Amino acid sequence: MVAYLRSIRQVLMVLTGLLVGVGLFVLFVINRQMPTHGDTAPEVPAFSVIEVQPLVFRLEARGYGVVRPAETLHAIANVAGRVVERHPNLESGAILPEGTLLLALDPSRYRLAIAEAEAELASLAAERAQLSVEEVNTQRLVELERERMVLAEQELSRIERLFGTGAVSRSQLDEQRRATLAHRYAAESLENQQRLIPSRRQRLDAQSDRAGTRLEQARQDLEDTRFTAPYDLRIADVEVEMHQHVTVGQRLFQADNIDAAEVEARIPLSMLRRLIAAVAHPERQEGALDISEWLDFPAIRAKVFLVGVADVELSGRVIGVASGLDPDTRTARVVVMIDEPYREADPPKRPVLQRDMFVRVHLSAENPEPLLVVPASAVHQGEVYLVNADDRLEHRKVEVAFEQRDLAVIRHGLAPGDLVIVDDPVPALSGMQLAPRQADGLALLLQRIAAGEAP
C-alpha cells in the first residue's frame, strides 16, 4: 500500500512540472515583441589607406664581417745579429708613433763590411788613376818610338843604296837592319801595351762595380739592423727579447697600421646584385676587366656597426669586391675601408675598432628611378586590397619585386594614385562598402624608410 502511494505522488509531481512549463511557454508567447525596422543605416567599416606614389628609394644590403688592419707590418730579420736595442713599450697592445725605433741588432760586423768595401773602392780608384797616367805616358813613348823607327827606316834605305855602289860593307848593312828591326819591335810592343789599357780599365771597372755592390749590400744590411715604425701602429705580437741572437728569416714582431681598417663583409648575393645594378656605370668601356671600371663605388654609402655594443657607428667606403664567394655561406665578399678607426674612440663607451672584432655592415645606394612601395603587411598572398572609385573593396593581384625593411617594392599590379588599404579587414569581401581615411603619418613614414632616413 505504501509503495502504491509513493508511485502516485511521483506521477503527480511530473504532471505538476509539465503544467508549470506549459504555462510559462504560453505566458512568453503572449508577451513576445515583434521586430521593428529602424530608420538608421548599417554602419560602414572605416579603414586606413595610403595613396600609392613613386618614392625615392634607397637600396640596402646588409652583412657581417671581421675587422682586419688595412696594413700589417711583419718584422722579419733580414740579417743575423744580437738584439742591442728594444723599445721599452714594444709589447702587445702598445700604440707607437711613426718614426719610433722599435728594435736594433748589433751593427758592428756590417760597419766593418762597409769599411772594407770602401777601402777596396779607394784602392781601385788609385789603380784607375795610375792606369790613366800610364796610358798618357805610353802614348808619348809610342810617338817617340815611331819617330825613331822612321829615322831608322830612312837610314836603312840610305845604307842599302850605298851598299849597291860598294861604298859600305855587308856587315854595316846587316847592323842597320838589326837596329831597324829593334825599333820596329819596340814600337809594336808599346802599341800592344796601349791596346791592353782599355781591357785593364774594364777589369778595374768590373772590380769597382763588385766592390760597390758589396758596399751597397753592407749598407743595406746595416739599415736592416734597425726597425723603425713606418707609420702609427699598434703592436700585436712580439717574439724577441733583449740580447737575444736572431737569425736570418726569424720573426721578430707584428704590428698593425692604425690609420685604416678593413672589413670583408659577407653580403647575400641577391642584395648585392640589386645594389650593383643601382651603381653600375652607364657607359663603361668594352672589355674592361677591373670591377672598379664597372661600378661607381663612391655612390655606395657604407656604415659599420660594432656587434654587441649599442650606438657605435662608423662611416666607411667600399673599395672593392673580393674574388669568389664564401664557400660556406655562398655570399659575396665586399671590402669596406674605415679611415682613422681610432679617431673617435672613447673606451669603454666607444671601444677602439681593432683586429678580429665582429661587425655588421650596412651598404646603401639610391635607386636611379623612384619605385612604387607599400607596407609589406599590406600584401596578402600576392594580393593587395584597394578602395575603388565607389569606395568599395577591390582585390588586386600584384608582383612583388623584393622586400626591404618591412616595405614591399611592387613591380606590377599597382599604378600611381591607387588607394591601398593598410589595415587587415576581416572578412575582406570584394565589393563591400568602406569608409577610407588617409593615413598621412604612415605615408610620411614610408617616405622616410624608403629614402633610408628612418632608423
Least confident of 8-12, 105-109, 144-148, 332-336: 8-12
The mean pLDDT value for 313-324 works out to 87
As a whole number of angstroms, the distance between CA 295 and CA 297 comes to 6
What is the pLDDT, as a whole number, of residue 73? 92
Contact 113, 218 (CB under 8 A): yes
Asked if CATH classification 2.20.28.10 holds for the domain at 47-56+371-450, the reply, yes or no, is no
Contacts of residue 173, Cβ cutoff 8 Å, sequence gap at least 6: 159, 160, 163
CA distance 176 to 364: 106
Q: Judge: domain 74-106+234-256, CATH 2.40.50.
A: yes
Cis peptide before 455 (omega within 30 of 0): no
Whole-number mean pLDDT of the chain? Answer: 85
pLDDT at 5 over 80: no
| Longest CA–CA separation in the chain, Å | 213
**Average pLDDT for residues 153-174, to the nearest whole number?**
79
Determine the Cα–Cα distance for residues 8 and 5; give it in Å rounded to an integer.
Answer: 5
Instruction: Report pLDDT for 213.
Output: 92
Which listed CATH number (1.10.101, 2.40.30, 2.60.40, 1.10.3470) goes with 260-366? 2.40.30
Note the pLDDT of residue 151. 84
Average pLDDT over residues 414-442: 87
Asked which of 49-53, 230-234, 253-257, 430-434 is least confident by mean pLDDT, the reply is 430-434
CB contact at 8 A, 299 and 365: yes
Residue 100 pLDDT class (50, 70, 90 cuts): very high
Alpha-carbon separation of residue 307 from 50, 261, 349, 356 (angstroms): 36, 16, 14, 12
Order of strands across the sheet with 95-96? 72-76, 251-257, 233-238, 95-96
Predicted pLDDT of residue 25: 59
Per-residue pLDDT, 261: 92
Helices 170-223/108-165 angle, 10° precision: 170
- Rounded to the nearest 5 percent, the helix, strand and coil shares of the chain are 40, 30, 30
pLDDT of residue 141: 84
Tell me the pTM: 0.68
Q: In the prediction, which pLDDT does 313 show?
A: 85
Res 218 pLDDT > 50:
yes
What pLDDT is attached to residue 38? 47
pLDDT recorded at residue 416 = 92
Q: What is the mean pLDDT of residues 183-210?
A: 86
Sheet of 226-228: strand order equals 226-228, 101-105, 81-86, 245-246
- Whole-number pLDDT of residue 254: 94
pLDDT at 286 over 60: no
pLDDT at 175: 84
Per-residue pLDDT averaged across 163-171, rounded?
78
DSSP state of 296: -
Portion of the chain with pLDDT greater than 70, in percent? 88
What single DSSP character describes residue 87?
-
* Average pLDDT rounded to a whole number, residues 285-301: 70
Q: What is the pLDDT of residues 116-129, one digit of tens each?
A: 999 999 998 998 88
Q: Is the pLDDT of residue 328 over 50?
A: yes
How do the domains of the chain map onto residue ranges? 47-56+371-450, 74-106+234-256, 109-223, 260-366
Is the pLDDT at 36 greater than 70, yes or no?
A: no
pLDDT, residue 165, reads 80
Q: What is the pLDDT of residue 33?
A: 54
What's the CA gap between 186 and 314, in Å, rounded? 89
Query: Over 90: is that where the pLDDT of 282 sits?
Result: no
